[in-house]
Amino acid sequence: MVEIIVCFKHVVDESELKVDRANNKINFEGAKTKISDDDKNAIEEAVRLKEKNGGTVIGLCLGKADARKSVKEALAMGCDKARLLSDPAFQDGDAIRTAYVLSQAIKRIGKYDIIITATGTTDVYSGIVGPALAEFLEIPQATFVSKVALAGDKVTLDRLMEEGVETVECDLPLLIAVAREINQPRFPTLIQIMSAGKKEVVEWKASDLGIEASTVGKNGSLVQVTSTQVPKSARKKILFEGSASESSERLADALLKEGVVN
């Protein structure tokens, strides 16, 4: 039996975003929302571990009220219950403040063996929340995890390194930040979607977690996001003239020189 808490984020679907080329700003208006892609890998791994070893999975999501949609999806994927951390005070916090809020919620939940996060989220991909959360909870952590094998109180993990795989062993409890290569997240069935609505979802605000509102969210953050812009991609627009064979040779030379092909 293993008690798992899996953290996931409700984000804007990046494939739906439009860029206003006049000012290079991202237009978030009307964009769909979803569970961050890599967080689905985290949920999938949590559910697989539960299916194999028994136990429960609690989904933990920090987001606005519309994050209930993502919470329901996580429940449909196999989480047994969920906690939604929704308070205006939590909004626009940096990675450290987000990790702090999650840590307070996990302390309130109490019992756990494994906490699973993604290595990063598709919106900002700081890669900090998982490790910072482990620090707040004073438990060991492993990032870029591509394989988890649980045996008693010990867990063996494969970590994806740049050139190779590192295998580590660790005692429970611990935090695992998974790599997207770890699994292929499942699509929930209709009956799982329907039964998700009957599972327990509790919403917690800052006061429920003993958090002073001014210490979290935008006000409590050391990092402030002042604007979000898309980098300008200036094109060289070089025209090669001459016969087809001449111009294609010059094009090939230019591509080699620019390092586009090698």
197: contact with other proteins by CB under 8 A: yes
Judged by CB under 8 A, the stretch of 67-75, 127-135, 136-144, 167-175 that binds other proteins is 67-75
CB of 18 to other proteins, least distance (A): 8
The two three-digit tokens of residue 139, written as one number: 């438990």
In the bound state with other proteins, the residue whose beta carbon lies nearer, of 16 and 166, is: 16
Residues near 153 by Cβ (< 8 Å), separated by ≥ 6?
171, 172
Which of 6, 69, 83 lies closest to 43, judged by CA? 6
Rounded to whole angstroms, the Cα distance separating 72 from 59 reads 10
Judged by CB under 8 A, the stretch of 88-96, 183-191, 199-207, 241-249 that binds other proteins is 183-191
17: contact with other proteins by CB under 8 A: no
Count interface residues toward other proteins (CB under 8 A).
18
In the bound state with other proteins, the residue whose beta carbon lies nearer, of 72 and 97, is: 72
User: Where does the chain show beta strands of DSSP type E?
Assistant: 2-12, 18-20, 25-27, 33-35, 55-62, 81-85, 114-118, 141-151, 154-161, 164-171, 174-178, 200-204
Say if residue 167 is exposed, middle or buried (CB neighbours under 10 Å; 0-12, 13-18, 19+). Answer: exposed
59: contact with other proteins by CB under 8 A: no
Report CA torsion sign: 65, 69, 70, 74: positive
73: contact with other proteins by CB under 8 A: yes
Radius of gyration of the chain (CA): 22
76: contact with other proteins by CB under 8 A: yes
74: contact with other proteins by CB under 8 A: no
81: contact with other proteins by CB under 8 A: no
15: contact with other proteins by CB under 8 A: yes
25: contact with other proteins by CB under 8 A: no
Whether 10 contacts 63, CB under 8 Å: yes
Judged by CB under 8 A, the stretch of 45-53, 81-89, 181-189, 251-259 that binds other proteins is 181-189
199: contact with other proteins by CB under 8 A: no
Stated as kind and residue range, the H or E segment containing 91 is: none
What are the residues binding other proteins (CB under 8 A)?
15, 18, 21, 32, 34, 69, 72-73, 76, 187-191, 193-194, 196-197
